[in-house]
């Protein structure tokens, strides 16, 4: 371990463990991104978490919290310290009567689901999987598919979040509402969510059924019951075959009935599909045939003929098999734009330029199935709206998810052009990207600002007040959410675009090869700015800002004085307490360690 860390660690209470390992390699579930944090830390208590935050501040390190790394983007990549709460996952209280359950934030959805089930409870809505941590699900605006629900974060009643000064602040619809709205979709940039209270509902079973229909049939029913005839509905669109699988489910009291075996759920089908996708990476024009063959084997070759159904607990029945590593590019648009979106994208993929009206060529481009079509409705909920909620605030939302598999971890050849055209159409139809997914790096702050307007400004303001030095800021946040630093003398701009002495910049990317030398994953390498800062701190040399004088105080905190470079500089750690004071005034906020407020 870096001697500076060891030195600072020795100044903190040795009775509180610091469970950190060096030489750690992390990757997203899809193995799209890899990174090597300086330390991988798995705390087991609030006191341990606080120790990490104190140490990170003193050692000038960025902190990234990662859940199950199911976000397929570079959102959680870091060369600094990676924090994981897999061992901070207890159920703290649970009431059968009210359905309220309070959990530590690292708990995975499947563990929570099993525990709730033992008490006759369940979560009201789920996405395609339940591997994620509850905090991760909330932080990215994860959704399921039902017009009767909004985002999964709709169930959150109270959140506790540890800010950059080590203070835990509780927020809810009743107290610290601005922090609550920012922290609900926080993208890890506000602080470390430590606890949350969720509203569970009585456990239920669902009776689901699915069948293949022609695309025109599906579009005809768009406004006449497709989405409202059942409580949960999702559609898988097969763009070349011009068909769609419609899956629908309602609650039931009938006895459980296991689902039938599926073709690609079995060993042979799974192997065949995976390898056909792999071959298609080299001969992409076979993809329409692959779509026909695989989905015909899975759901039958004639529309409407083959109906599959089952009765399962909601906890497992709402999930699905997500198969292989994949890129996912998912956007939220108003539901009423759905038929236009699908008709134009379908035309583009099938070479009908006039109907598509998309200014990119689709010549020689072939894509994977299915394109996922899902819905939610956040317009009717009475809980505070997250500032960064991508859904339609005034009516139902359609989520279109352009999935591209990465067979044997190899990227398909069409990715850039497909996503360029797809995103262009989504923007034209008033869309906003799902935060966790693989939207283009070109989207960037300016465009996101146009999409979110003052809601983004508010999120940035709350974020900056809670984390003055940018302990939770990385390249992904700068790219998408934070205005570029401005030294124009305009105070507001200066404040919003602060330089973030602890924030991490990306330095390089390189191809990552697994042990067999295969795979197209990318390794992301951060700037390790602290090396520069710590080695020069004592002689007043240049730090991560590339300018200014630094001083260490008696507690080892380093203060960067940039005041000679234009307008008043953002205060560093020493001033933090004042600035988030108003956030910390909630009735239930807890001061856990005075020591770490310098
Ligand atoms: C196969 C698959 C299926 C999926 N299905 C769906 C779906 O149906 N619907 C949908 O909307 N999305 C879906 N997703 C996306 C997924 O739900 C999100 O990416 C989710 O964020 C993953 O949770 P996680 O625990 O892995 O979080 P991570 O990916 O590890 O982290 C996500 C964000 O949460 C932050 N975070 C994590 N823990 C904390 C904490 N304690 N405090 C503060 N910040 C924290 C991280 O810093 C990061 O910003 C799917 C992804 C995959 C790979
Ligand atoms: O990100 C996601 O992956 C699956 C599709 O395979 C899904 O439903 C998401 O959302």
Q: Is domain 91-202 in CATH 3.40.50.980, yes or no?
A: no
Average pLDDT over residues 199-205: 98
Model confidence at 353: pLDDT above 50? yes
Q: Distance between CA 483 and CA 468 in Å, rounded? A: 15
Q: Distance between CA 78 and CA 422 in Å, rounded? A: 29
* Closest ligand 1 atom number to CA of residue 29: 53
The pick from 31, 328, 398 for probing ligand 2's pocket by mutation, whose C-beta has the most ligand atoms within 8 angstroms, reads 328
Q: Which two tokens stand for residue 408?
A: 């044997």
Average pLDDT over residues 207-224: 96
Q: Which two tokens stand for residue 257?
A: 């009935």
CB of 188 closer than 6 angstroms to any ligand 1 atom: yes
Ligand 2 centroid–CA 53 distance in Å is: 33
**pLDDT tens track for 260-287:** 999 999 999 999 999 999 999 999 999 9
- Identify any residues that bridge with 206 across adjacent strands, giving them in sequence order: 251, 312
- Do the domains spanning 91-202 and 205-440 agree at the CATH topology level? no
Question: In 3D, which of 314, 311, 522 has the Cα closest to residue 415?
Answer: 522
Look at residue 491 in the predicted model and tell me its pLDDT: 61
Name the residue with the closest Cα to ligand 1, atom 8.
127
Q: Which ligand is nearest to the CA of 194?
A: 1
Average pLDDT over residues 151-155: 97
Model confidence at 509: pLDDT above 50? yes
**pLDDT tens track for 53-70:** 999 999 999 999 999 999
Model confidence at 105: pLDDT above 90? yes
Which residues are near ligand 2 (CB < 6 Å)? 127-128, 322, 326, 328, 372, 401, 403
Give the list of residues 6+ apart from residue 492 with CB closer than 8 angstroms, or none.
Answer: none
Q: Distance between CA 593 and CA 12 in Å, rounded? A: 11
* Closest ligand 1 atom number to CA of residue 70: 26
Look at residue 489 in the predicted model and tell me its pLDDT: 55
Name the residue with the closest Cα to ligand 2, atom 9.
128
Q: What is the pTM of this model?
A: 0.90
Model confidence at 573: pLDDT above 80? no
Name the residue with the closest Cα to ligand 2, atom 8.
128
CB of 323 closer than 6 angstroms to any ligand 1 atom: no
Look at residue 496 in the predicted model and tell me its pLDDT: 60
Look at residue 518 in the predicted model and tell me its pLDDT: 75
The pick from 42, 64, 141, 142 for probing ligand 1's pocket by mutation, whose C-beta has the most ligand atoms within 8 angstroms, reads 142
Q: What is the CATH number of domain 205-440?
A: 3.40.462.10
HEC assignment per residue over 478-521? HHHCCCCCCCCCCHHHHHHCCCCCCCCCEEEEEECCCCCCCCCC
Domain boundaries, the chain: 3-79+485-583, 91-202, 205-440
User: Could you tell me if 469 and 559 are in contact, meaning their C-beta atoms sit under 8 angstroms apart?
Assistant: no
């Amino acid at each position: 371990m870096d001697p500076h860390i060891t030195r600072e660690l020795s100044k903190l209470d040795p009775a509180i463990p610091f469970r950190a390992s060096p030489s750690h390699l992390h990757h997203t579930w899809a193995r799209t991104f890899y990174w090597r944090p300086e330390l991988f830390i798995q705390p087991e208590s609030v006191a341990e978490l606080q120790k990490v935050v104190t140490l990170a501040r003193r050692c000038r390190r960025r902190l990234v919290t990662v859940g199950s790394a199911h976000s397929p983007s570079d959102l959680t990549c870091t060369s600094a310290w990676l924090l994981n709460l897999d061992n901070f996952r207890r159920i703290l209280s649970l009431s059968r009567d009210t359905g309220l359950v309070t959990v530590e934030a690292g708990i995975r959805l499947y563990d929570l689901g099993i525990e709730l089930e033992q008490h006759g409870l369940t979560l009201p809505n789920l996405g395609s999987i339940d591997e994620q941590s509850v905090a991760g699900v909330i932080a990215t605006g994860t959704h399921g598919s039902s017009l009767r629900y909004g985002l999964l974060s709709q169930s959150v009643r109270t959140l506790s979040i540890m800010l950059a000064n080590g203070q835990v602040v509780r927020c809810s619809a009743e107290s610290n509402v601005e922090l609550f709205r920012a922290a609900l979709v926080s993208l890890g940039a506000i602080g470390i969510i430590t606890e949350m209270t969720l509203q569970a509902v009585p456990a239920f079973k669902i009776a689901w059924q699915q069948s293949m229909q022609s695309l025109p049939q599906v579009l005809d029913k768009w406004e006449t019951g497709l989405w409202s005839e059942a409580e949960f509905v999702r559609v898988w669109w097969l763009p070349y075959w011009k068909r769609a699988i419609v899956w629908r489910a309602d609650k039931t009291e009938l006895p459980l009935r296991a689902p039938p075996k599926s073709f690609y759920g079995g060993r042979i089908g799974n192997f065949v599909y995976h390898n056909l996708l792999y071959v298609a990476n080299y001969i992409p024009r076979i993809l329409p045939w692959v779509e026909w063959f695989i989905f015909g084997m899975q759901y039958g070759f004639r529309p409407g003929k083959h109906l599959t159904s089952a009765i399962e607990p909601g906890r497992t029945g709402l999930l699905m098999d997500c198969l292989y590593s994949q890129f996912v590019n998912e956007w939220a648009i108003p539901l009423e734009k759905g038929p236009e979106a699908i008709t134009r994208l379908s035309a583009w993929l099938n070479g009908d330029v006039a109907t598509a009206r998309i200014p990119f060529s689709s010549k020689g481009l072939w894509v994977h199935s299915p394109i996922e079509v899902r819905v939610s409705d956040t317009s009717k909920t009475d809980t505070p709206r997250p500032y960064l909620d991508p859904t339609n605030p005034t009516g139902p939302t359609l989520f279109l998810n352009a999935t591209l598999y990465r067979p044997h971890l190899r990227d398909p050849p069409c990715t850039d052009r497909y996503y360029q055209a797809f995103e262009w159409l989504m923007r034209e139809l008033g869309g906003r990207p799902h935060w966790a997914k693989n939207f283009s790096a070109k989207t960037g702050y300016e465009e996101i600002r146009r999409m979110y307007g003052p809601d983004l400004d508010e999120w940035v303001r709350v974020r900056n007040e809670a984390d003055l030095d940018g302990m939770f800021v990385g390249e992904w946040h700068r790219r998408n959410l934070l205005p570029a630093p401005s030294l124009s003398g305009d105070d507001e701009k200066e404040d919003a675009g602060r330089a973030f002495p602890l924030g991490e910049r990306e330095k390089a990317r390189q191809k990552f090869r697994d042990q067999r030398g295969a795979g197209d994953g990318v390794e992301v390498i951060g700037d390790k700015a602290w090396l520069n800062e710590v080695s020069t701190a004592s002689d007043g040399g240049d730090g991560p800002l590339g300018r200014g004088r630094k001083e260490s105080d008696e507690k080892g905190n380093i203060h960067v004085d940039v005041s000679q470079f234009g307008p008043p500089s953002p205060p560093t750690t020493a001033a933090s307490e004042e600035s988030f004071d108003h956030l910390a005034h909630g009735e239930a906020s807890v001061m856990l360690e005075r020591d770490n407020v310098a």
